[in-house]
Chains A and B, each alone.
Chain A
Amino acid sequence: LAKTTQPISMDSYEGQEVNITCSHNNIATNDYITWYQQFPSQGPRFIIQGYKTKVTNEVASLFIPADRKSSTLSLPRVSLSDTAVYYCLVGPNQAGTALIFGKGTTLSVSS
């Protein structure tokens, strides 16, 4: 599985847009890019997934450049409740795929 690198922490204020970038230089052709959110003492929650270009849902947007060696999760107008750890994962669609969660990015939103 491709290794990912993301910032350890980020700080923001309510109402701002937050962009979290993840590097995955060794991404394979059949790998998908998936982002999860995790609050303390809760299971990770799926946010968004993409393969290339841009994906948008009601929660976030995911930007993936043509070379797919990085991706950016964009959270529009964050609120205090968006304070959480955000994980970037890269992996294929195959049986036994273990989602390897690294240390993630701890996002702290202040008022």
Chain B
Amino acid sequence: SQTIHQWPATLVQPVGSPLSLECTVEGTSNPNLYWYRQAAGRGLQLLFYSVGIGQISSEVPQNLSASRPQDRQFILSSKKLLLSDSGFYLCAWSVPGRFETQYFGPGTRLLVL
């Protein structure tokens, strides 16, 4: 069966510090991968998605970036965090060729102080 991992589970970072969140998927090949952010009490906002290694599409311009160095690895990064980057970051995957059904990881709670 497929599983999706995210780490760390919780992160507290000062403003201006760098960020690296990692997501890996097991049990499937060439998945579509997604990064979402959920602000407190609000819905999910799609940040990036990827249909293959090195292929990244950005949905919202901001100081975040994403990379996919391996087939089942998706990384969310920032060079300098802002207070507004605080939130619940979720990685998700979907079957190749299918985008309407996505499976989510456990999430990373990021607090920028």
Contacts and interface: CB of A to CB of B under 8 A. Distances in A.
Interface string A68-111: 00000000000000000000000111111111111100000000
Contacts of A42: 106-107
B101 A43 contact: no
Interface of B: 32, 36, 38, 43-46, 49, 51, 57, 59, 88, 90, 92, 97-107, 109
Contacts of B101: 32, 34, 46, 49
A11 B49 CA distance: 36
Contacts of B105: 43
B46 A99 contact: yes
A91 B90 CA distance: 19
A3 interface: no
Contact of B59 (A34, A96, A102): A96
Interface size class of A (residues with CB under 8 A): 20 to 34
Interface string A34-68: 10000001111110010000000000000000000
Given A32-B100, A46-B101, A91-B100, A98 B46 contact: yes
Given A46-B101, A92-B100, A96-B57, A101 B44 contact: yes
A97 B100 contact: yes
A45 B43 contact: no
Contacts of A101: 38, 43-44
B59 A93 contact: no
